[in-house]
Chains A and B, each alone.
Chain A
Amino acid sequence: MSAVKPAPRAVTPSRRRAARAAGRTGQYLALAAYLIFLGFPLLWLVSVSFKSPQELGSIDPTWLPRHPSLDNYRKAFDTQPLLRAALNSLLVAGCASVIAVAIAVPAAYVMVRYRTRVSQAGTVWILISQMFPFVLIVIPLFLVLKNLHLINSLTGLIVVYVVWNLPFSLWMLQGYVKAVPRSLEEAAAVDGAGRLRVLTGVVLPLLTPGLVATLMFSFVTAWNEFFFALVLLKTPEKQTMSVILTHFTGAEGAVDLGPLAAAAVCATLPTLLFFALLQRRLVGGMLAGAVKG
């Protein structure tokens, strides 16, 4: 905006200041546009969740509810087994993230400390696994799980989520392991600690912040997941939050907007809470995996 070409030397300070002020104004306008684009759907979702049925039926919607009420929330919990779905989601996401991180930590350690072909193959696999469409994975998984009688079972879903979360957990944890100074491990080894002792006594404590970040991230990923849950869970009492939400949108298009919005808000709250705690760590962790090497 201010100066496209190299600024000539002769520009007076006052003109330069004016150009800079104009640039600032432009930047604030752009920022405002972004804030509106990113924020207005969120505001609308929350607003609809507090509106009464009469208000939702009116042809002239308003930004804020005229008579805010909790009726939609009550109705959402009455018509669909939301509480049950939340518990299912909590169980599946909790187990899957804990197991995934527990088996990813030693593997990430080996992949960082032994730069060998197995480790390289692991890294290549992490990248390749991003490329395949879900269909190609879900059909064989469906057939395998069916033979093991794990269709429509939360155990089956946990197993799928563990595998599905592993690549990213490995990726993030590798970054954190690289940050642990080797000299500490060497000192412990000189003092006679075995490899397992070094890992549990020296590396693990230093890894805790990264571990927590990875854990929360895989929890959020599993909580939000939709496709596998849709294919693998058949009965409402087994379904997770994501899948239950689609029941509010009937096939005939007769959608109960208020309760749907209320349920959507409920489904988002736990992950938002985690992300609020996680925000700073997450950015650092993703880059730690990507940049250092």
Chain B
Amino acid sequence: MSLTAPRAEEAPGSRGVPPPRTTRQRKRALGLDQGAWFLLLPALIPILVLSVGPLLYGMSLAFTDSQAGRTSPTEFVGLANLSDLRLDSLFWESFRIGLVWAFFVTALQFLLSMGLALLLNQNLRFRWLARTLAIIPWAMPEVVVGVMWRLVYHQDAGILNKTLTQLHLIDHHVDWLTDLSLALPAVIVVGVWAGMPQTTVVLLAGLQNVPHELREAAQIDGAGVWRRFATVTWPALRPVVMAITALNFIWNFNSFGLVYVLTQGGPGGKTRLPSLFAYEEAFKYGQFGYAAAMGLVMVAVVAVLLALFLRRTLREDAQ
């Protein structure tokens, strides 16, 4: 029952622009009249010119030998970049690290945030404090989070080594961010810390949408805590969980700033995420075309993983 929507459909006929049929078809396909276009264009033009356009341009660069500061014209090289990439073991190592990082950060983010959201959904004292603390990492610039954890991890002046020594868990000061085997886990912890707020907030909101009556009914029927969670809470929460996990995975796989500040990809490339690798390739060595090809591979892999993940989810939902 609206005034605006029907008017949009009536407009072509009443205006009578010849030839009427094709106009109507076009109008119906897009469904907008002049006034609506006028409102939409200020957002549509920047998106087309500076988001859709550059993205297509960026993808096409992957098939050229584009370089920074070159005077000769850029040439089309077909699949040369991609076939070079196939043999670039450094890139695939970085890719593997990226997947490990994205997987662990996303999984831990989910588990820890789920626990926190369940706690915050209870009527506990100090809940306000936990709520506030859980929001703060969200407000902090990535760079500050990186700087802060560098101070925590610092070999001599850092509080982590000091505390662990006091608890007699370690007997010498560990250099967390330059140790070949510890750097990646250390960076993953920071990723989890930084990403928990969004996930917690979204899950908490999802929990608060779970109907109270159902849980109470299950409790009266004698269902325990775990049983209530598995049969009432989880089914209602599942769509939210799937959405936020998929998004978290994408964001984590593409993340850059945190690790750039923490380790710059070191030690020995052990924390060099694919986005850091591509950044170096593009802005340190000026290989725009090659870096764009890396970006293309990253999108492709994320898209395939996402499709598999969503298809399984949809199939399970259908059953």
Contact = CB atoms under 8 A, between A and B. Distances in A.
Query: Is A bound to B?
Result: yes
B240 to A, nearest CB: 8
B58 A136 contact: yes
A243 B143 CA distance: 8
A61 B275 contact: no
B10 to A, nearest CB: 13
B269 interface: no
Interface string A140-179: 1101100000000000000110110010001000000000
A159 B181 CA distance: 42
A117 to B, nearest CB: 6
Interface string B215-244: 000000111111100000000000000010
Contacts of A122: 44
Interface stretch (A65-73, A204-212, A220-228): A220-228
A51 to B, nearest CB: 9
A41 B5 contact: no
A133 B274 contact: yes
Contacts, number: 300
B77 to A, nearest CB: 16
B17 interface: no
A41 B205 CA distance: 26
A44 B151 contact: yes
Contact residues on B (Cβ < 8 Å of other chain), bracket: 35 or more
Question: Mostly helix, strand, loop or mixed at chain B's interface?
Answer: helix
A286 B202 CA distance: 8
Interface residues on A, range: 35 or more
A291 interface: yes
Interface of A: 1-7, 9, 23, 27-28, 30-31, 34-35, 37-42, 44-45, 48, 56-61, 63, 102-104, 106-107, 109-111, 113-118, 122, 125, 129-141, 143-144, 159-160, 162-163, 166, 170, 182, 185-186, 189-190, 195-196, 199, 220, 223-224, 226-227, 231, 241-243, 245-246, 248-249, 255, 257, 260-261, 264, 267-268, 271-272, 274-275, 279, 282-283, 286-287, 290-291
A257 B157 contact: yes
B144 A267 contact: yes
Chain A interface secondary structure, helix, strand, loop or mixed? helix
Given A34-B119, A136-B299, A139-B58, A131 B250 contact: yes
B55 interface: yes
Contacts of A138: 282
Contact of A195 (B35, B141, B283): B35
B299 A132 contact: yes
A257 B154 contact: yes
Given A116-B32, A131-B250, A137 B119 contact: no
Contacts of B65: none
